[in-house]
Structure 1
Amino acid sequence: MSQLFVASRAALDDASTLIAQFGEDAGFEAAARADRSRDLGNAIRFCHWRQIERLIVLLETDAAVGTVH
């Protein structure tokens, strides 16, 4: 997985909230929210929820990602 840019603390909060509410299905919920935003024509929220989806996948992995010092 390539490096992930986290735009704000709110992105981490949204990811944490979805993980707490949906557990293993948090990524699917983020994808569903992105799809709804796209269907409504809201590109900014679409990108936000896609970022959250990728962030959830990263947070759920046990492996180190990126450069380890």
Structure 2
Amino acid sequence: MVDRYINKALKAEHIISIPIERFKIAELEELSNKAKKNNIVITLKAEYSNIYQGVLVNLIKRDIINDEFIKWM
């Protein structure tokens, strides 16, 4: 599962968001290590929309981070 999300983030030109409850603690550790090796930034954000309410794990390639992303955070 972790590799699938890393690969999605590497191919995407946008933020990949995943509900935190999909991960076990060991998978979050694996995600963190693999993201660092692949130059991917991980953030956590509380979401309160009509679609989802909870904590999201966000993945984005470091080289596409811009002011819009920083304002969103």
More strand by share: 2
TM-score, normalised by the number of residues in structure 2: 0.31
More helix by share: 1
